[in-house]
Chain A
């Protein structure tokens, strides 16, 4: 069962070769057996999951099953789910049981999917290694001495070890694509605005976007069909016609399925900054894309090198505003000892937030403070425009862009934990996509010394169907994504 993709699981449930209760129990058993090695989940509630599974079985019995009915899905612990503890990886929300469902959670529930558990993550999604979680680091199923990437590291480890068939994630600067790359998964960050942010705990609102991590691109397309859609409650949700993101994947397979597709190689992705073993696999994938019929062209994103600098102004600035709500008054952590209101605020925040979150709140507060706003915040926003313009120029003559997702494979736990700048540079190839608001996907493209390597494809706005199809056609002839980490293959 753990080797089945979402389509096969849906067919098995409709044919009644397995019930949703049985399938959910199978994954709950795997979590019980394996998760002590990974720490991928923060909260598992078997009774709640099985109740949802029983309801799904009733719907299936009546012939009312849809593509995800009865399928267990893990959710990053950034999505509020009614009755579920929702921590965002922070001590600040350690005791927070959400009174409502995020729109993403509601859409999955309405589709009949089962909430399998809440996955570990970097605190408030700030991190690239899942080491900043209050609930301890997550380990990579391919080598438990290595990080799974972050911030959606719990979702990545859970799916990679098949402790869930698929999981949601969020991506503010690479937090879906980088852990997908480091854990041999397909991870999609959709176009900004197509998946609702309502009930998704905010980090940097102009960059945050929900997406998913799953073994294959076809799985991601099925999940996106459920997740995407206009939401009145999210003021940045885009009101556009419903799309079937599976339509290109489901179309007939031609001899050269990607004939006519122009893939650009931005030279900034092919500089000296990456591990040569990673680049050899990326070069091999480029040849595979030519075999599939794609035309490869050279291109450039001249301002991409500035993306990390601009991001570490914009994201902390937005975070310092968003996280001002955590004050120990209405919900969340309150310090036990304080003399007055100010001390209650500042001590609750000092004790409730971890070191990386506090660092970013200080950066954000500084760049927004009087006298520095123009030099930092406005300058970063102007550079953001230049970066978005670079992409627009590249998409005048390319359909997709291709490069590595991460400059290296998974690194050892602790290797970068004491050096924030080195950690920030792990996202050098993913951040620009968030600044521009574009869709990007990471797909498995091989292994270097036993560790997975991810290939990134970037599309123009709203090109998810084409992007996922380009990923899918590669996966049809290069099934790296079907490999399981040996320690978790049973």
Chain B
């Protein structure tokens, strides 16, 4: 199997990573080498084998949906101090709907 330049561009778009034409073509070569390694898997007959998603067989624990802190406002301030742009306690991004 071999990827195409178009596929690399499409995957980069899905991953929201801007990619130039020069980068896309050098990435194509590297990805194809990596997929040559990965393709070894296709020779193995895994019919009837249960996929293993996780190292430990366990059930998802549930907890009560309660805030841990008694002062959520203070946490908001601490967390928003890290943001590139905020206003009125909100995270600011470019306008999405005109």
Contacts and interface: CB of A to CB of B under 8 A. Distances in A.
Contacts of A381: 51-53
B82 interface: yes
A365 interface: yes
B46 A379 contact: yes
B22 interface: no
Contacts of B15: 320, 349, 361-362, 364-365
Q: Give the interface centre of B31, B36, B41 by most chain A CB atoms within 10 Å.
A: B41
A386 B30 contact: no
Nearest to A338: B94
Given A235-B60, A340-B94, A376-B38, A382 B51 contact: yes
Given A359-B31, A383-B44, A341 B55 contact: no
A238 interface: yes
Give the secondary structure class of B's interface. loop
Interface in A283-310: 303, 305-306, 308-310
Interface in A324-376: 324, 327-332, 334, 338-347, 349-350, 353, 358-359, 361-366, 369, 375-376
A327 B33 CA distance: 29
A99 B79 contact: yes
A236 B46 contact: no
Interface string A380-415: 111111101000000000000000000000000000
A424 B17 CA distance: 23
Given A346-B18, A362-B11, A420-B33, A385 B49 contact: yes
A315 to B, nearest CB: 12
Contacts of A320: 15
A313 interface: yes
Contacts of A350: 17-19
Contacts, number: 159
Contacts of A243: none
A89 interface: no
A329 B56 contact: no
Contacts of A236: 54, 56, 58
Nearest to B15: A365
Contact of A362 (B31, B79, B93): B31
Interface residues of A, number: 68
A331 B83 contact: yes
Given A192-B56, A236-B56, A358-B17, A329 B30 contact: no
Interface string B44-82: 101001111111101011010000000000010011011
A308 B36 CA distance: 12
A229 to B, nearest CB: 15
A436 B12 CA distance: 31
Contact of A388 (B13, B19, B52): B52
Contacts of B27: 358-359, 362
A206 interface: yes
Given A349-B16, A366-B11, A385 B50 contact: yes
A361 B38 CA distance: 15
Contacts of A359: 27, 30-31, 34
A342 B42 contact: no
Interface of A: 96-97, 99, 192-193, 206-207, 232, 235-236, 238, 303, 305-306, 308-310, 312-313, 320, 324, 327-332, 334, 338-347, 349-350, 353, 358-359, 361-366, 369, 375-376, 378-386, 388, 420-421, 424, 435-437
6 contacts: A236-B56, A308-B37, A365-B11, A379-B44, A385-B52, A436-B55
Please list the 5 inter-chain residue pairs (A to B) with the smallest Cβ-Cβ separation, ordered nearest first. A437-B55, A381-B51, A382-B46, A334-B84, A385-B52
Given A358-B27, A386-B44, 16 more contacts: A206-B53, A312-B37, A313-B41, A324-B16, A331-B79, A341-B96, A362-B17, A363-B34, A382-B49, A382-B50, A384-B51, A388-B55, A420-B33, A421-B34, A436-B55, A437-B54
